[in-house]
Amino acid sequence: MIDATMTKRMEEATRLTRAGKLQEAMAILQGGTPDVRSAETTDNSYQQGDTFDGTCEVIDEEATVSQPEPSESPRGAFSPGNIQMPAAWRDKWMKFRGGMAQPEQAPNSSEKPQPGAFTAGRFTHSVGSRDYKLYIPSGYHGQALPLVVMLHGCTQNPDDFAAGTEMNRLAEEQLCCVLYPAQPMTANSSKCWNWFKAEDQQRERGEPAIIAAMARQIIDTHGLDEKRVYVAGLSAGAAMATTLAMTYPDLFAAVGVHSGLPHGVAQSLPDALSAMQGGAGPLGGGKAKGTQWESEVPVIIFHGDRDTTVHPSNAQRVAAQYRQSRLAGAAVEQGNVANGHSYTRTTHHDAKGKPHMEQWRIHGAGHAWSGGSAKGSYTDPKGPNATQEMLRFFLQHQHAG
């Protein structure tokens, strides 16, 4: 009976969080009396892939995303300073989240494999070990090719992320190697990269150290071009990609952030929930321990303006961590994908006129990879194609020297 009651509390808290009613959700988790509805009457929209700390939701072409009323807006309504979540509840919440966040779509194993080699491996570092998948295009004959590191979102894995983004197909055409590190459930019950933990936000520590060292080993093993190494991610993976840009700017020549969050704005689960829903939190605005995080790594940012999992305001907060005073100006372009989403692209140039930052705001899109394939989970095929645009942006940049 206790487990059934707890499950109902968590279900109701999830529904309220998705609706932006975070104070009510946290009250339930803290032991308040929930208005638990039966399975027959509960809105089951949250049971279609929604989860937390950077997870993704499947975008249905006929679905509509409700916007919170002004009084229910998540912006600033949920401050980590007034939340006391018991450790037992937090652990159960994380496990529950992972158990309910099953993708609606799975990769189609009947699809013919790409021409190149997609192999599995395991990397061991003094900090820890991770499995990975590596795509090597058929045109590779030992030459120094670029490397793109792709960080999946919560509940995903390398095969799913590769299928959804179709990065391997474009890498085959444009001759790039693609590395997909895998986050195991032993590190996070929902397979999220731990972007919100202090120990995973620093150079030579935690997950950033593992990913960076893994990339370097792949570069050395295959003789790849160390001047053209890039990293991109979705949601929790995007947040970790920004962390890598902040902590390893000497390794990555450009970064792609899709539906992500800034570096250093969370050091706990309550911080993470606050940041995801648009709240600044005690470390908000890109600040960590009084220090303004900033990176000179060129960045391309994608975010749907109807994202109910990671509030769209996070896109601007991410941009603020990359924006440099030396940027000379910006150009704004409005566009529309045929039978798909419209978008606004803002391109910031450096003093030499070279694009240094691109911000893509996808109108009407939720929390999913823009322009992705239905062969993978958490994608929005209505475009624009984030994979294509990211790879184009990446290949315009390389480390000097």
**Over the chain, what is the mean pLDDT?**
78
User: How confident is the model over 123-159, as pLDDT tens digits?
Assistant: 999 999 999 999 999 999 999 999 999 999 999 999 9
User: How confident is the model over 11-23, as pLDDT tens digits?
Assistant: 665 555 545 455 5
- pLDDT the model gives residue 359: 97
User: How confident is the model over 46-65, as pLDDT tens digits?
Assistant: 233 333 333 333 333 333 22
User: How confident is the model over 374-395, as pLDDT tens digits?
Assistant: 999 999 999 999 999 999 999 9
Of the chain, the percentage scoring pLDDT greater than 70 comes to 67
Task: State how far the Cα of 136 lies from the Cα of 74, in Å rounded to an integer.
Answer: 43
Residues in the chain: 401
Q: In Å, how far are 14, 168, 230 from 94, measured between CA atoms?
A: 11, 32, 30
In this predicted structure, the answer to whether residue 269 has a pLDDT above a threshold of 90 is no
User: How confident is the model over 73-116, as pLDDT tens digits?
Assistant: 322 222 233 334 445 445 444 443 433 333 333 334 334 445 78
Q: At what angle do helices 87-100 and 269-276 cross, to 10 degrees?
A: 50
Task: State how far the Cα of 311 lies from the Cα of 262, in Å rounded to an integer.
Answer: 12
- pLDDT the model gives residue 114: 52
SS3 235: coil
- pLDDT the model gives residue 330: 87
394 token code pair = 């990446």
- pLDDT the model gives residue 11: 60
pTM above 0.75, yes or no: no
- pLDDT the model gives residue 323: 72
pLDDT tier for residue 371 given thresholds of 50, 70 and 90: very high
Domain residue limits, the chain = 2-60+72-100, 118-394
pLDDT tier for residue 360 given thresholds of 50, 70 and 90: very high
Alpha helices for 156-201 (secondary structure H):
158-165, 167-174
User: How confident is the model over 215-266, as pLDDT tens digits?
Assistant: 999 999 999 999 999 999 999 999 999 999 999 999 999 999 999 999 999 9
Pairing of strands 254-258, 291-292: unpaired
Say whether domain 118-394 belongs to CATH 3.40.50.300: no
Q: Compute the half-sphere exposure of residue 143: CA atoms within 13 Å on the CB side of its CA.
A: 9
- pLDDT the model gives residue 70: 31
Q: Which residues are catalytic, by number?
A: 235
User: How confident is the model over 331-354, as pLDDT tens digits?
Assistant: 999 999 999 999 999 999 988 888
* CB 166 within 8 Å of CB 88: no
